[in-house]
Amino acid sequence: MSAPSVLRPRRFGTWYVAEHRLRLMWAYGSTIVATSIGNPVVYLFALGVGLASLVDANLGDGAGGQVSYLVFVAPALLASAAVTVSAEEFTYPVLAAFKWNPVFSAARAAPVTSAQIANGVIVAVVLRMVATCALYFGVMLLFGAVPSAVGALGIATATLTGTAVGVLIMAYTSTVEEDKGQMAIIMRFIITPMFLFSGTFFPLAQLPVYLQWIGWISPLWHGTELGRVLAYGLAEPIWLTGLHVAYLSALTIAGWRAAQIIVERRLDK
């Protein structure tokens, strides 16, 4: 008996899984859109307008020295928004899909492969991040927070940042058999400190030297700096900009592959 054609699942399996995930997101689509617009409005008002009035008045040229505080903080908030979506989507929804609403095992019984299941989940979240970042960026424009047209590329770099963090979370979440609060720990002890110590609200150089390493290993710092280079031409050596891209890409590739392997191992029992 010759092998029947499974051309379509082999070629598009990732997309079929992504379709399923997007349908699930669609169910709470209005919440997603509301938070995607509400968050930037609130943050940009509070930090870019409120706090900025204090910072700009006392530091003259804004905390970055080059630009207003609003322009300085906006790319960081954009990258953080992507990381927040990513942390949200790769924790409980992934754990649920293995355990409480075991749709991965159901998908595995169809012609899609474990790697395609991992890919599909990631692709769907990437699409959600692109949408969220695009809306965020739109609000940034309304606030006049993006001096350079190249700044729009910040949507891509923010998404890359979210993906770099997200695939690592997914790789970890896929190993979790029992929920003992690990997801809350990720949020409180990894995502939140990363948000606070990644040069988000003040340049990393302002931190004591012994804390600066947090920024260097933080994908969010690399993503934020990249966003600043694009949005207002933050002055930094070209090799450092290259390093941001390389670091985020390396994490994405390594985390993505790890997620595929771990999902495969878990579903092949």
Interaction site with other proteins (CB under 8 A): 1, 3-4, 6-10, 12-13, 16-17, 19-20, 23-24, 27, 101-103, 105-113, 267-269
CB of 45 to other proteins, least distance (A): 34
CA 64 from centre of chain: 24
Closer to other proteins by Cβ: residue 5 or 58: 5
d(CA 172, CA 233): 36
CB of 108 to other proteins, least distance (A): 5
Closer to other proteins by Cβ: residue 120 or 223: 120
CB of 264 to other proteins, least distance (A): 10
Alpha carbon distances (Å) from 39 to 34, 43, 135, 139, 208 = 8, 6, 10, 10, 30
Q: Per-residue DSSP letters for 120-137?
A: HHHHHHHHHHHHHHHHHH
Closer to other proteins by Cβ: residue 135 or 267: 267
Which SS3 state, helix, strand or coil, does residue 209 take?
Answer: helix
Which residues have C-beta within 8 Å of that of residue 266, sequence separation ≥ 6? Answer: 98, 174, 175
CB of 192 to other proteins, least distance (A): 28
Q: Do 121 and 98 form a contact (C-beta atoms < 8 A)?
A: no
Closer to other proteins by Cβ: residue 19 or 61: 19
Q: Of 97, 100, 78, which is closest to residue 17 (Cα–Cα)?
A: 97
CB of 181 to other proteins, least distance (A): 22
60: left (phi over 0), alpha (psi -120 to 50) or beta: left
Closer to other proteins by Cβ: residue 108 or 244: 108
Closer to other proteins by Cβ: residue 99 or 257: 99
CB of 257 to other proteins, least distance (A): 20
